[in-house]
Amino acid sequence: MALVISLCLFIGVYQGICNIDQIYLSSKLGLSIRTPSTWIGGSIQPLQIQTIDLLTKKPVSAFVTVALTDEETFSKIIYTGKTDETGLASAQLNVEDDFKLGRNKLVVRAWTGTKSDAAELSVDLKETYRILITVDKKWYQPGQTIHIRVLAWEGGVKYHAASNVNVTISLIDPKGSKIFRRTLETDEDGISAVDIQLASELNVGRYKLRAEIGDYSQETVLNIQYYKLPTMKCDLEIDKDWYLPSEQVEGLLTARYFFGKPVTNAWVELTVDAYYGEWMTAWKYLGRTDVNGVMNFVFDIPEYLVGLPYYNGMTKIILMAHVKDAADHEESVAKDVVVSKQPILIDLLSFKNTFTTSETINIVTKARYPDGTPITRAQTLVQVLSEKNSVVFSHAYVTREDGSVNFGFQAPDTQKASIQVTVIDEDGYRSSQEKALYKKGWWGENGYSIVLSPEGYEYNMSEVVRAKIYVQYPADARSHSEYVYVDAISPMDKVTLYTDALRVVNNTANLEIVALETFAPYVILHAYLITPGNNVISDWAKIAVIPEGGLSVEVFTDKPQYLPGDFSRVTVQVKDEEGHPVNATLCVAIVDTSVLALSEKETGFEEVFFALEEEYQKPQWEIHSMPIY
């Protein structure tokens, strides 16, 4: 997590008559600097400078220079510019590869014709790496060999192979003890490999395989325990991704042996567990598979369920199938099914909660399904009613790609305006949401809100990612920041790849950033504002980025089927995005598919997702507002 240091330098100001203080302050500026505390070599880092006149407490335009120095042998001016009439200057600085790594100091100087000031703050310059760990499988038994390959890249804007760097490989048992540790050097392609021979007797459980380069590390979890390979693979399929209470679920179970034949005439026990304040079995069925190893089933979602807090009031049911074949081999498979009381979830944001007669009120709505998918091309009906239920505004809209609709209406001459939004999708599902606004001075509610609305959710590398950020302030807020802050965070290693501060104009800020190579395969855009009480209000969106120069890999075998002991000839062909053959380094593993099926039987950890969601709600840099009295 990157921390932005904000340094504000002020001289004490005393109210009253003091000519000496006024003379002193007449030559000084107030200077504020904001930038991440850690800079990545080869990256682009944001810098924001704000200047005010200490005597008048108002923003002032000033010339500024920024120098980077290690206070020993290196010093370089990296920015020269001028703050605007609001006292603000923002820059994106290229952190060049010749900058000295380690602790450095930023020296910022600002001046006008009659005033000047200077400030310093420390930044750490580091190299950044991406590490990919691959193993031949995820499950091992004591006495087996783990085949490991590590691929490392380095760079801030464009990655390249981290050649001839030391990478340390460690295997950590469930008790936290390292049972293997070795330092290797990557080759010219950034690759290193090692085999770990497991002892025949060791603690079984979940092991961590860790690769480290300097301060950067990557881990993967391996299961080391005695196991019996499954003989069959079972799958559950249902007709939808989510359901309403009392809706009918249609599905099928498929069971096949790993050598390809269907599991015929097998006993299948299906159960549905639902949450009623505690988990209970709501439905049970006993049947058999047909000659194709398939069993169809139908059941109704329970009418009454208890919402789970971490599902935002929604809930889920757990569909479980237990299969037993004629030889008494048994396998189980489970599937989570999302259940929601509403088919469409509607977020309704007004930029303020009170109004005056005839002013324009702007509203933003976002519609999504219970699984989080934005609803595009949905009919959106808007009505605004007075306290006497007379219609003062009515209009129909169609949702955009992100499920949003923006509209405005003229405030009526009434004490209350109720906004009613109804969304109807192409399948006929509909939901409604309502929000009340009140005439200023009559009644009001407090609250900050922020909505991040990207134009799209998938971009090619080098395309411009555009998004609008809508902000609502409390009606009684005496003062608030004019800026929202944006981070682009890599979910894989939690590195902040981009940060910026955007000015809010008419409750809206516009974001435009270029999709860098380091954004691939996806990046989290995190927008947040900081209230005067230092609370953080935030929203985030996942953006997929398709890198340039993608490779395609095709695998060919000389026969479709082999007997044990047969010789197999395998051909691997690698092509670039234009279909031309290319030289490439390959990692090839041949694994029994029944071993891979062991991983599919692992239960999911919902808390991982919710921990990530909570993490994205935290600011990746810290802002301390400049006090202006």
Domains of the chain, first to last = 4-126 (2.60.40.1930), 129-224 (2.60.40.1930), 232-339 (2.60.40.1930), 345-545 (2.60.40.1930), 552-589 (no CATH)
Model confidence pLDDT, tens digit, residues 414-459:
888 899 999 999 999 999 999 888 876 554 444 677 878 888 778 8
pLDDT value at position 379?
A: 95
End-to-end CA distance of the chain: 32
Report the alpha-carbon distance of residue 28 to residue 31 in Å, rounded: 9
Q: Is the dihedral of CA 594, 600, 603, 607 positive or negative?
A: positive
78 Cβ neighbours under 8 A, 6+ residues apart: 66, 67, 68, 93
Burial class, 326, CB count within 10 angstroms (exposed 0-12 / middle 13-18 / buried 19+): exposed
Report the alpha-carbon distance of residue 65 to residue 55 in Å, rounded: 23
Whether the CB-CB separation of 167 and 150 falls below 8 Å is answered with: yes
DSSP class of residue 20 equals: H
Model confidence pLDDT, tens digit, residues 577-616:
888 898 888 888 887 777 776 655 544 333 333 334 444 4
Report the alpha-carbon distance of residue 243 to residue 338 in Å, rounded: 6
The two beta strands, 58-59 and 88-94, are: unpaired
pLDDT value at position 27?
A: 66
Share of the chain above pLDDT 90, in %: 27
Whether the CB-CB separation of 144 and 136 falls below 8 Å is answered with: no
pLDDT value at position 214?
A: 82
CA distances from 539 to 319, 345, 376, 451, 525 (A): 32, 16, 20, 6, 9
The two beta strands, 464-472 and 458-460, are: unpaired
DSSP class of residue 189 equals: T
pLDDT value at position 610?
A: 37
Report the alpha-carbon distance of residue 61 to residue 267 in Å, rounded: 79
DSSP state letters, 148-175: EEEEEEE-SSS-EE-TT-EEEEEEE-TT
220: tokens are 């993967």
Share of the chain above pLDDT 70, in %: 83
Run means of pLDDT, 10 residues per run, the chain, 629 residues: 42 37 60 78 77 82 88 80 85 73 85 85 79 87 93 74 92 93 93 94 91 85 86 91 91 91 95 85 94 95 72 79 92 89 86 75 87 89 90 93 88 88 93 85 58 82 86 70 82 69 87 82 84 76 78 89 88 88 84 70 40 45 39
**Rounded to two decimals, what is the model's pTM?**
0.56
Whether omega for the bond prior to residue 521 falls within 30 degrees of 0, making it cis, is yes
pLDDT value at position 1?
A: 39
